[in-house]
Amino acid sequence: MFAFDQTRPVLVGNGAEMQDRITRRPGSYIQAEAAIRAGQRPCVGVVRDNAFMLDKLLEYACGMVGRRAPSIPALNPSPVADLPERFRFHLDGLKNIAVPMGIQLEMLDGELEDIFATAASLADKMPETDILRLLGIVCRVPLVGPHWFVFEVENACNEDCIYCNIHAKGRRPGAAFTGQRMDFDVFARQIDDLARMGTDGITVLANGEPTVHPNFLEMIQYAKGKGLRVNFFTNGLLMKEKLAKGVVDAGCDEMFCTISGATEQSFLAVHPKQKAEDFEQLMRNLKFLTDYKKQQGSDVPRCLAVHVICRPNFHELPLMAQQAVDLGFDVFRPQLVRIDPHNFPIELREDHLEQIRADIPKAKAICEAGGIEMWAPFEAMVASAGNNASNWTPDEFLEEGCPIGWSLGLAKVTGDLSLCCVVKPVGNLRDGSIGELWFGEDYQRYRLGALYLNENMDMPLKNGTPLYTYRCLRCDNHDINRQWMGKLRDSGLIRYYRG
């Protein structure tokens, strides 16, 4: 962190919450404010956390000494290529305003200029929005929208997967829940916002089956029309010819189809309400889509065959890989089942994990021979699980921090915004747009809480639940966090992470 001279009033935040967090001294803000009110000359301390809001901080300091600052332009983080030069020019301009008003402006962060120089050096090596997210993580502030945003658009489902914590037999979500869906107009407004914010893409998801939504295809088309990458998850049962053609013709980028069974026997065991003809129809649906994609000469959607590996199907890994090849899919994507209190009977035992480990090389060989990919994080997921398949990210993000608040967001049917794909409510769309909430104080508080997760495990979310729960041990977004931590390392910015 930074060294602060406690003998003078130094402002690094425009309120107690920000000031005390940066200084790591509770009461720091009250102490500085009292000294300024008593006539001491204030100092605005420049650190990475406030570098992009120094205009507001100087205006705030001017107000504390009874002066009115002229209109001060903010420092725009983009283009990153010339950020170091623009930052120095910005500081000079702020000093020209501050000094005549009796306010000092002092650089307290000895690494800040190096951070900006490192970011600028990446300008021709990665997308601008990626650099801004990495820079934002290091500076602990959002500089651009999320890399990816997930919309849960529908609560109704046409399946009863035994691992599902909503629609599995005996869960009884109720008609009030299953009758909820996101209005298309609400979806479209948020898409407009995300496109303006520099978001790269969105997922159309559901607490059920998204293709049940009457505007499903229209949602895909609208988001693509705004220049966003789009993917969706589906069980494929409704992906018949008309819808399949629509998805391909819309240029949808990816389809994740959750099958969870290489044979009729395992498929029916995982989906009790389905019949043999449903499995056969699913296979026909998926083969039609991939055949139509080839007929159109299209590379999209990239098709991923998702299999949730649990007790009824753990022995089928090679068969699942072959099924993905035969269906013309691009990726075989197995993942370990997430165990919750309702589905303990399908939990994987240690001997099941041993067979999975033995079958991974076989599945990889089948994929390679068939010219498709096998989802790389699965092997790491199994390795991380050790002898406990329920916990595949044990303490990983508790120790190194969770940067998900810069890369991902999720909106539920109810309008609740979640920090990640586990329910962690941080706001609601009735209180503002995604853009207003994403850059707002509440979201920032939770974003920073997750970044220092080991210090904020019990931080209460909007619904009163703690920030850290047992579900963090089986993180649904572990691959995303690992991806961005990898980018921090590759960029050289990792040395400033949480510094």
Residues 416-471: tens digit of each pLDDT: 999 999 889 999 999 999 999 999 999 999 999 999 999 999 999 999 999 999 88
Mean pLDDT in residue range 10-33: 93
| Residue 8: band (very low, low, confident or very high) from pLDDT cuts 50, 70, 90 | confident
Instruction: Give whole-number Cα distances, 123 to 87, 235, 493, in Å.
Output: 16, 40, 13
Looking at every residue in the chain, the average pLDDT score rounds to 95
Q: Give the residue-averaged pLDDT of 310-331.
A: 98
pLDDT reading at 3 higher than 80:
no
| pLDDT above 80 for 394 | no
- Report whether pLDDT(55) > 90: yes
Whether residue 331 contacts residue 305, with contact meaning beta carbons closer than 8 Å, is answered with: yes
- 424-435: pLDDT as tens digits: 999 999 999 999
Backbone angles phi and psi of 481, in degrees to 5? -60, -45
**103 close to 61: Cβ distance less than 8 angstroms:** yes
The per-residue pLDDT for 71 is: 87
Average pLDDT over every residue of 275-282: 98
From the CB of residue 195, how many other CB atoms can be counted at a distance below 10 Å?
Answer: 16
Phi–psi pair at 230, nearest 5 degrees: -135, 135
CA 427 from chain center: how many Å?
15
pTM of the model: 0.93
Homologous superfamily assigned to 156-390: Aldolase class I (3.20.20.70)
Whether the Cβ atoms of residue 369 and residue 451 lie closer than 8 Å to each other: no
- Is residue 288 over pLDDT 80? yes
| The pLDDT of residue 327 | 99
How far is residue 195's CA from residue 202's CA, in Å, rounded to a whole number? 10
Instruction: Convert the pLDDT of each residue in 166-210 to its tens digit.
Output: 888 877 888 998 899 999 999 999 999 999 999 999 999 999 999
For residue 268, give both structure tokens: 């029916």
Q: What is the average pLDDT across 380-401?
A: 82
Average pLDDT, stretch 64-79?
91
For β-strands 416-418 and 425-428, DSSP reports them as antiparallel
Domain with CATH 3.20.20.70 in the chain: 156-390
The pLDDT confidence band at residue 376, using thresholds 50, 70 and 90, is very high
- CB 228, CB 276: distance < 8 Å: no
pLDDT of residue 7: 77
Give the angle subtended at the CA of 339 by the CAs of 338 and 342, to the nearest 5°: 130
Residues 6+ away with beta carbon under 8 Å from 162: 168, 169, 269, 270, 271, 272, 310, 312, 343, 346
Q: Which residue has the higher pLDDT, 325 or 383?
A: 325
Is the model's pLDDT at 1 over the cut of 70?
no
